[in-house]
Amino acid sequence: MATLDKITPRDVDFAKWYTDVCLTAKLVSYSNTKGSMIMCPNGYAIWEEIQNNLNQRIKMTNHENVQMPLFIPESLLNIEKEHVKGFAPEVAWITYGGEEKLDERLCVRPTSEVLFCEHFKNIIKSYRDLPKLYNQWCTIVRWEKSTRPFLRSREILWQEGHTMHSSEQEAKEETLRMLKVYEDFQRNDLALPVIVGRKTEKEKFAGALETYTIEAMMYDGVALQNGTSHYFGNHFAKAFDIKFLDKDNTYKNPYQTSWGSSTRMIGAVIMTHSDDNGLVLPPKIAPTKVIFIPISNDDEIKNAINKISDKLKVTYKIDVSDKSPGYKFAEAEVLGIPIRVEVGMRDLKNNEVTLVRRDTLEKIKVNVDLASDKIEELLDTIQKDMYNRALKRRNSMLYEAKNYEEFKSLALKPGFIKINWCENEACEEKIKNDFGLKSRCIIDEKSDGNCAICGKKGKVKIYFGKQY
């Protein structure tokens, strides 16, 4: 009999467990192109679900999809000084086209601010041309040294929004609007409890005035930055000489935002919800929501499955392969299908089938005639329960430190530590040097004491934690 590959237990070796889940559920495969992964059908199907859901939210907020070039001429990347400083060390350079050496090197886009700015310069002339609310789904490349499936790779599938506005206020509202879109999507569809806030000066995006972030906490207490939204003011617009004639008949530079999220969200889903049996997917982004497993080949079983599945409004599969029922159960678990329906003769004598929840492995016997309603109800329940369990676990790893001693006593624990902070970069540096923890984000909560590090007046509340 065929057996599934063994998954290293999560509490024995979290990193190995993660890789095992990715490979055993056939989400990804390694390739000979160092640093790039192959997204296999099971992995890419999850990305398609995420794209569909998030794309709708992006369009509902009036953004339009476009497609910019893949390559950036070196001179274009060089226009905005902060930005190039941040990105030049990690781009891939094209130097030859066929046999011919290029006059100017091209980099593969690591992000597309400069490409959008160049285009905005051509199309924005008047206040009537604003706002421009653009988004693109594409591949970017950043030359990472070490890579891990979904979390960090040289090649990243993502969406990046780029917008231009006639006023500072409107651009700031856009920055926060899209942060909220990400937050809602991740809470409701990915069942991820997330902390939202502002990055420190040290951690913000190269060239941004303000960077807002979605910080998720993984099962092991380590942070995953799961989406960012940037406010640029108008200094890219100035560098690129983008101007519009305003209603008052004067020329002004427009105000800019950008925001991005990537396949990293799949990594967050895995590291938050999955277990030692494999993947656990929130129903809303599971490509297959239900799998029917016939225990034998009897006609009554086929009829019962048809009776239930005909009424289902969600995507389902029927496993009619020649594997054993036990193997099929294990495989459905590895793949993270939210509900499996075991249909056997013993249950059918009572006109029942057994629903098995993937998240809890709980078995529920239901009447055949009520099964389709029950399945759809149970999918909602699973979605909510997954969020609540993740929230409870996350909250159990949130700490607060009043002073350096308290910080020190908490620093080795998995999770995030909240402190009052004076906003002095020296204190942020000291935490990084002493404990290897980076700032996650400044949250929307008033400081109520002195800075936990230097003891001077606290100005904001901020979280620190280890990160992927």
Question: Footprint of a copy of itself on this chain (CB under 8 A)?
Answer: 29, 31-34, 36-41, 44-45, 47-48, 64-73, 76, 88-100, 105-106, 108, 115, 118-119, 122-123, 134, 138-139, 141, 143, 154-155, 157
Closer to a copy of itself by CB, 23 or 176: give it.
23
Closer to a copy of itself by CB, 62 or 433: give it.
62
Beta strands in 179-278 (DSSP E): 194-198, 210-217, 223-233, 244-245, 251-252, 255-262
Residue type, 157: L
Task: Retrieve residue 199's tokens.
Answer: 């990055």
Least distance (Å) between residue 136 CB and a copy of itself = 8
Q: Phi, psi at residue 244, to the nearest 5°? A: -130, 150
Least distance (Å) between residue 65 CB and a copy of itself = 5
Closer to a copy of itself by CB, 26 or 307: give it.
26
Closer to a copy of itself by CB, 33 or 388: give it.
33
CB-CB contact of 92 with 141 (8 Å): yes
Q: Which is it for strands 132-141 and 64-65: parallel, antiparallel or unpaired?
A: parallel
Closer to a copy of itself by CB, 132 or 394: give it.
132
Least distance (Å) between residue 262 CB and a copy of itself = 13
Least distance (Å) between residue 129 CB and a copy of itself = 12
Closer to a copy of itself by CB, 48 or 241: give it.
48
In whole angstroms, give the CA distance from residue 353 to residue 348: 6
Least distance (Å) between residue 50 CB and a copy of itself = 13
Closer to a copy of itself by CB, 67 or 297: give it.
67
The continuous run of DSSP H or E covering 441 comes out as: strand 438-446
Closer to a copy of itself by CB, 119 or 461: give it.
119
Least distance (Å) between residue 261 CB and a copy of itself = 17
In whole angstroms, give the CA distance from residue 225 to residue 230: 14
Give Cα 178 to chain centroid, integer Å: 14
Least distance (Å) between residue 90 CB and a copy of itself = 5
In whole angstroms, give the CA distance from residue 364 to residue 358: 12
The continuous run of DSSP H or E covering 419 comes out as: strand 416-421
Least distance (Å) between residue 285 CB and a copy of itself = 15
Residue with tokens 């593969």: 108
Closer to a copy of itself by CB, 42 or 213: give it.
42
Please name which of 21, 394, 25 lies closest in space to residue 191, comparing C-alpha atoms. 394
In whole angstroms, give the CA distance from residue 379 to residue 279: 16
CA torsion 245-246-248-251 (nearest 10°) is: -50
Closer to a copy of itself by CB, 257 or 354: give it.
257
Q: Which residues contact 183 (CB under 8 A, 6 or more apart)?
A: 194, 196, 214
Least distance (Å) between residue 41 CB and a copy of itself = 4
Q: Which residues contact 181 (CB under 8 A, 6 or more apart)?
A: 54, 57, 58, 61
The sheet carrying 290-294 orders its strands as 316-318, 290-294, 339-343, 352-357, 363-367
Least distance (Å) between residue 380 CB and a copy of itself = 27
Please name which of 204, 258, 256, 261 lies closest in space to residue 229, comparing C-alpha atoms. 258
